[in-house]
Amino acid sequence: MLTSSILARLGLVLQGSNANLEMLPPEDEDKTSSDPEDEEDSEDEEDEDDSEGGEGEEDSSGGSASSEEDDEEGDGGEDPDDEEDSNHGQDDPLTQDEGEAPDGESDPDGGEEGDEESSEGEGGNGAGGLSPAEQQEAIDLAAALLSAMEKGLDTGLISNNEALSNALKTEGRKDILKNEIPWRPLNPDLDKVSSPPNADQAAATALLQSVKTEVAFLANQLRSKYLSARADKVTHGVKHGRDLSERRLVETVIEIRSGRPPTRPDWIRTPRDACTLAVGIVLDESGSMDTLRTLVARAALAIAAPLDSLGSPCLVVGPRDGTKGSGSWPDLGSGGQAAFHRVNGIVIDIFKHWDEPLNMCLRRFPNVKAFGGTPLEDGIQYAMQELSKRPERHRVILVLTDGAPNCPKVCTRQIRLAAEARIDIIGVALDEDSADLVAALFPKHVKTGSISQLPNKLLAVLDGIIFPKAGGKKILLDSALTAKKNR
């Protein structure tokens, strides 16, 4: 392993330093020529500095740093002509002796750094303060490294990705639970987001017609629930309200005739929060979904079409491997946690954007693919990133899958993080063979044996999320009686 000092010296040898720069010749002799009197004054000042023991070394432009300090800290009685002569000597590069080599740049604050640099330069070292032997050693080291790299030998150097991997392994994040793995691809630049090619219009229309019954049922049910949820809430039987409640009119009259003030005679109207919904649909495009590919496309249309008719934004995406065939995925089983959940690139197929009308993207749905691995966690991640930007009150992700992603522990973490952000992730199993796997991975799930069962079962889950019933269930508390029975 190379030390930082060797690397620094190697960089100085290969790149050079300011000490290697040579002075450019003057462009015009008339501009650089000075009066003989000014040159004599400047030479006198240099002689005085040399006689004092060289306390102030000249900088590369020929001026004296210590003489400037003396002028600034003096009594202020110097002749202004001497100051002009000194400044003129600094601007004129011809005032340097031919035998002197340019030193390092002086510090404008006092020249101490310039003194140190010039003293190092007087030692006979080359670029960057290196001796000829050290320069040759660094050059030989660079040549050895290049030769080892060309032969494929181990040089002790690591790449950027390896350095990042080592840093992530020791990161020790506290928000990663036992059965979770963070979403962390090796190189996100390899990923691609694109829209599938358009299929034949007749095939797309036939696909939509095959689910027209489910689309109509789900659209009508959602419309009625939307209207009910958006209507103001009217509460009868309150102490003070807007007007007398007809439902409590008899009780109010009885209380008045009996000489008592009415307890709850009025009613009030309470505005409800806007019932808005944004849904992200993730389609499983893995090779195991080959027999269910058409079923997945129909189910996606059965959900997206009603939402589109009601004006609810809907996103439909399908994650798949970047190349046909299974990708090279790291082993994330027992025996440690890998630094990255995948090492290859994936493709996110966009079948429908948020506010894109369905009739503009309908021809993409027949081109649902089925091959390779199951980067389902990458599709969920994309939907989560997009939903985090949405302003709707309710945000839901529907995952149409057979329940076998590449990295189930990544999905487990995503479900928890989404729930903390009040985003519900629901797994949808389209056949009974995958129902158990989907139920084991997604706490909120829908099991369907056919497309005809999808609307009713999906509404049963959405009701508890978007249209919850008033009130809540009673808590079954432990009591002394139950404790006595269990003895």
Domain residue limits at 62: 28-125
DSSP type of residue 78: S
Residue type, 202: A
Q: Of 257-271, 287-301, 389-403, 449-463, give the lowest mean pLDDT range.
A: 257-271
Determine the average pLDDT of the residues in 123-148: 71
Residue type, 112: E
pLDDT at residue 241 in the model:
82
- Token pair, residue 483, equals 């404790």
If one counts the domains in the chain, the total is 3
pLDDT at residue 155 in the model:
64
Polymer length in residues for the chain: 487
Asked if residue 410 lies in contact with residue 183, where contact means CB atoms within 8 angstroms, the answer is yes
254 and 302 within one domain: no
Asked if residue 440 lies in contact with residue 401, where contact means CB atoms within 8 angstroms, the answer is no
455 and 324 within one domain: yes
344 and 236 within one domain: no
Which residue would you say has higher pLDDT here, 52 or 441? 441
81 and 48 within one domain: yes
pLDDT at residue 442 in the model:
96
Which residue would you say has higher pLDDT here, 431 or 206? 206
pLDDT at residue 470 in the model:
53
Asked if residue 471 belongs to a domain, the reply is no
CA 229 and chain centroid, separation: 36
pLDDT at residue 234 in the model:
80
305 and 361 within one domain: yes
Asked if residue 285 lies in contact with residue 368, where contact means CB atoms within 8 angstroms, the answer is yes
Task: Tell me the per-residue pLDDT of 411-437, one tens digit each, with 9 for 90 and over.
Answer: 999 999 999 999 999 999 988 888 999
CB atoms < 10 A from the CB of 257, how many? 8
Cα torsion 165, 167, 169, 171: sign: negative
- Token pair, residue 241, equals 């309200």
CA distance 365 to 207: 8
CB atoms < 10 A from the CB of 195, how many? 15
Determine the average pLDDT of the residues in 150-179: 62
Q: Provide CB contacts within 8 A for 1, sequence distance 6+.
A: 156
Whether the predicted pLDDT of 325 surpasses 50: no
Asked if residue 245 belongs to a domain, the reply is yes
Confidence label for 94 from pLDDT (cuts 50, 70 and 90) = very low
Mean pLDDT of the chain, nearest integer: 74
248 and 281 within one domain: no
**Helix, strand, coil % over all residues of the chain, rounded to 5:** 45, 10, 40
Q: Provide CB contacts within 8 A for 421, sequence distance 6+.
A: 388
Confidence label for 92 from pLDDT (cuts 50, 70 and 90) = very low
Residue with tokens 């990708």: 327
CA distance 370 to 289: 6
Residue 348 forms beta bridges with which residues? 193, 319
The domain boundary, picked from 125, 152, 175, lies at 125
pLDDT at residue 376 in the model:
94
Asked if residue 379 belongs to a domain, the reply is yes
Asked if residue 22 belongs to a domain, the reply is no
Confidence label for 479 from pLDDT (cuts 50, 70 and 90) = low
Which residue would you say has higher pLDDT here, 147 or 60? 147
pLDDT at residue 357 in the model:
95
- Residue 360 CA: distances (Å) to CA of 87, 282, 352, 383, 484: 76, 19, 9, 21, 67
pLDDT at residue 343 in the model:
87
Whether the predicted pLDDT of 405 surpasses 50: yes
Determine the average pLDDT of the residues in 35-46: 50
Asked if residue 183 belongs to a domain, the reply is no
Asked if residue 34 belongs to a domain, the reply is yes
- Token pair, residue 334, equals 């027992």
DSSP type of residue 434: G
266 and 317 within one domain: no
Whether the predicted pLDDT of 476 surpasses 70: no
pLDDT at residue 295 in the model:
93
The domain boundary, picked from 271, 300, 329, lies at 271
Whether the predicted pLDDT of 12 surpasses 60: no
Which residue would you say has higher pLDDT here, 129 or 49? 129
Q: Of 2-16, 277-291, 464-478, give the lowest mean pLDDT range.
A: 2-16
Whether the predicted pLDDT of 54 surpasses 60: no
Whether the predicted pLDDT of 347 surpasses 90: yes
Confidence label for 319 from pLDDT (cuts 50, 70 and 90) = very high
Q: Highest-confidence range of 56-70, 78-92, 235-249, 272-286, by mean pLDDT?
A: 272-286
Determine the average pLDDT of the residues in 319-339: 61
Pairing of strands 277-283, 394-400: parallel
Task: Report the predicted TM-score, pTM, of the whole model to 2 decimal places.
Answer: 0.59
CA distance 244 to 265: 6
The domain boundary, picked from 245, 271, 297, lies at 271
Whether the predicted pLDDT of 32 surpasses 50: no
Extract the runs of DSSP E, i.e. beta strands, from 143-302.
192-194, 233-238, 243-244, 266-270, 277-283
Asked if residue 204 belongs to a domain, the reply is no
pLDDT at residue 465 in the model:
82
236 and 322 within one domain: no
Task: Return phi, psi of residue 318, to 5°.
Answer: -135, 110
Which residue would you say has higher pLDDT here, 35 or 215? 215
409 and 342 within one domain: yes
458 and 309 within one domain: yes
Q: Of 127-131, 384-388, 472-476, give the lowest mean pLDDT range.
A: 472-476
Whether the predicted pLDDT of 45 surpasses 60: no
Determine the average pLDDT of the residues in 263-277: 81
State the maximum Cα–Cα separation within the chain, in Å, rounded to a whole number.
124
CA distance 286 to 128: 59
pLDDT at residue 154 in the model:
66
Give the gyration radius of the chain's Cα atoms.
40
CA distance 419 to 413: 10
Asked if residue 444 lies in contact with residue 432, where contact means CB atoms within 8 angstroms, the answer is no
- The DSSP line for 402-468 is -S--S-HHHHHHHHHHHHHTTEEEEEEESSGGGHHHHHHH-SSEEE-SSGGGHHHHHHHHHHHHTSP
Percent of the chain with pLDDT over 90: 35
Asked if residue 319 lies in contact with residue 285, where contact means CB atoms within 8 angstroms, the answer is yes
pLDDT at residue 22 in the model:
53
386 and 253 within one domain: no
Whether the predicted pLDDT of 101 surpasses 50: no
- The DSSP line for 272-341 is PPP--EEEEEEE--SGGGSTTHHHHHHHHHHHHHHHHHTT--EEEEEEEESSSS-------SSS---S-S
Q: Highest-confidence range of 136-140, 407-411, 449-453, by mean pLDDT?
A: 407-411
Asked if residue 133 lies in contact with residue 308, where contact means CB atoms within 8 angstroms, the answer is no
Pick the closest to residue 329 from 408, 398, 384, 400 (CA basis). Answer: 408
Cα torsion 230, 235, 236, 239: sign: negative
Report the CATH number that the domain containing residue 308 is assigned in CATH.
3.40.50.410
285 and 249 within one domain: no
Q: Of 151-165, 169-183, 224-238, 330-344, give the lowest mean pLDDT range.
A: 151-165
Number of helical H runs and strand E runs in the chain? 18, 10
SS3 call for 131: coil
Whether the predicted pLDDT of 120 surpasses 60: no
Confidence label for 53 from pLDDT (cuts 50, 70 and 90) = very low
pLDDT at residue 62 in the model:
44
- Residue 252 CA: distances (Å) to CA of 236, 241, 259, 263: 12, 14, 11, 8
Asked if residue 6 belongs to a domain, the reply is no
Whether the predicted pLDDT of 59 surpasses 70: no
Q: What strands lie across the sheet with 192-194, from one edge to the other?
A: 192-194, 346-352, 314-321, 277-283, 394-400, 423-429, 445-447
